[in-house]
Amino acid sequence: MAERGMQLVNPFFNIWSSEMGSRLAYTSIYTASLCVLLYFGFLAYKVYCVWITIRRKRAAQLYRNSEIRRLKVYLL
């Protein structure tokens, strides 16, 4: 009988078994962590920018002219 595919030499070998493999694994973990921190920092910056824009628009003279306009803005 013949088997298809390739036989594994050591099926229980993983990336943590060698020095170079563990360095590669730790490097990828650190890189992913840095990317997550940068992404959440960027997301917080964008939320802050939107919040400032909404605050400026509410404080604009355009909405202070009419009582009805002001009520519409504050109800949103």
Q: What is the pLDDT of residues 3-33, one digit of tens each?
A: 666 666 776 778 888 899 899 999 999 999 9
Q: Note the pLDDT of residue 3.
A: 64
Instruction: Give 46-52 contacts, CB < 8 A, sequence gap 24+.
Output: none
3-state secondary structure of 13: coil
Closest CA to 76 of 59, 61, 54: 54
Instruction: Indicate whether this model's pTM tops 0.95.
Output: no
Residue 21's CB is within 10 A of a number of other CB atoms, namely 13
3-state secondary structure of 44: helix
